[in-house]
Amino acid sequence: MISMHIAIIGCGRIGQSLASLLLNEWYVSELSLVDVAPNLAKAVAEDFRHASVALRRDVEIEGYENVKDVEKADMVVVTAGAPRRADQSRRDLAVKNAGIIKNIAEGIYHKNKDAWFLIVTNPVDAMATLFYQATKSGRVVGSGTHLDTIRFRSEIARRLGASTADIEGFVAGEHGEAAVPLWSTVKVRGVRLEDFVREDVATFRNEIEKAVKEIAARIIRYSGATIHGPVHAFREIIRSILLNEAKILSVASPYKIENSEVYLSLPSIVSSSGVQPVLFKNLTDEEKKKIEIAAKAIYKTFKEATRDLNLR
């Protein structure tokens, strides 16, 4: 019987929503919730204990104020950090969140060296890079452009009147301004996109890309935050790793750039063995060029965010 301990760092809207989702996952036997706000995590944990009774699930749930209190987790999901406003880009959060991520990394790693670390705090690619630099753990994964990929497929399906289950295709690069829609990977029921689009293909692509780029800000503007799409995306990554589902997901892992590495998203096999990028050699030259541009943008954000931090 699989029995997993998942720790969630940050009890804001994303952290609480993810915990609620994971509470109903059959393989989760223990949840550790952490937030620096006095008594918040303990109160949320108590609330979830009541929920677990209604779900007829025996899940051990604890709340802490210090990440150092978490031990022997199988998966640590880092959601803590300043949330994005509608008028902000994800990169605008970099400096503010960098110090938070560094402190979490240094505080939690010692007692959880065998854990997987899923970083979702924005700007996620730079923050995953920072977490990796601070811990040197080979088990750090960024949620990357998996959510962008979901939004990409959703928009394509809506425009074509197709089922989302029939849509293949990925977004790579940066979760944000330098996201790269990989049109060469798009298929509908296994057939090229061009065979389904009745309008000008270039116009169709431009409209999809614009919609995907703007949708998060629109949701934030009118509802206050993106919550449900992200947490279900994170759940899919968590399951693929902990249950060894080996799905192909566009998540962030180390990518060589100049004399360093940054976390950048590529379609990858995601399993209990790690993250293995695939399909890269099949991409067009233009897509590969845009991915290189994204890598440089992520590196720039990372360097600016960590300028005043003492990284080992």
Closest CA to 175 of 225, 208, 140, 212: 212
* Helix ranges, the chain (H): 13-23, 40-54, 94-108, 124-135, 146-160, 201-223, 228-242, 285-305
Per-residue pLDDT, averaged over 214-226, amounts to 93
How is residue 126 written in tokens?
């730079």
The predicted pLDDT at position 280 comes to: 85
β-bridge pairing 4-9 and 191-192: unpaired
Residues 80 and 40 sit within 8 Å (Cβ to Cβ): no
Residue partners of 275: CB distance under 8 A and separation at least 6: 141, 251, 253, 268, 269
Give domain 146-305's CATH number out of 1.10.10.10, 3.30.70.20, 1.10.238.10, 3.90.110.10: 3.90.110.10
Per-residue pLDDT, averaged over 118-125, amounts to 97
How is residue 9 written in tokens?
């760092």
The predicted pLDDT at position 309 comes to: 82
CA 292 – CA 82 distance, rounded (Å): 28
Per-residue pLDDT, averaged over 2-28, amounts to 98
Taken as a whole, the chain contains a residue count of 312
Q: What is the pLDDT of residues 91-100, one digit of tens each?
A: 788 888 999 9
Q: Token pair 């998060």 is at which residue?
A: 216
Per-residue pLDDT, averaged over 32-53, amounts to 98
Q: What is the DSSP string of 9-39?
A: E--SHHHHHHHHHHHT-TTEEEEEEE-SSTT
Read off the pTM.
Answer: 0.95
Assign 174 a pLDDT band (cuts: 50, 70, 90). very high
Assign 58 a pLDDT band (cuts: 50, 70, 90). very high
The fold of the 4-142 domain, in CATH, is Rossmann fold (3.40.50)
User: Which of 110, 175, 228, 232 is labelled catalytic?
Assistant: 175
How is residue 142 written in tokens?
């960024």
What are the residue ranges spanned by the domains of the chain? 4-142, 146-305
Q: What is the pLDDT of residues 280-301, one digit of tens each?
A: 889 999 999 999 999 999 999 9
232 is catalytic: no
Per-residue pLDDT, averaged over 169-183, amounts to 96
How is residue 139 written in tokens?
């088990």
The predicted pLDDT at position 312 comes to: 61
Assign 90 a pLDDT band (cuts: 50, 70, 90). low
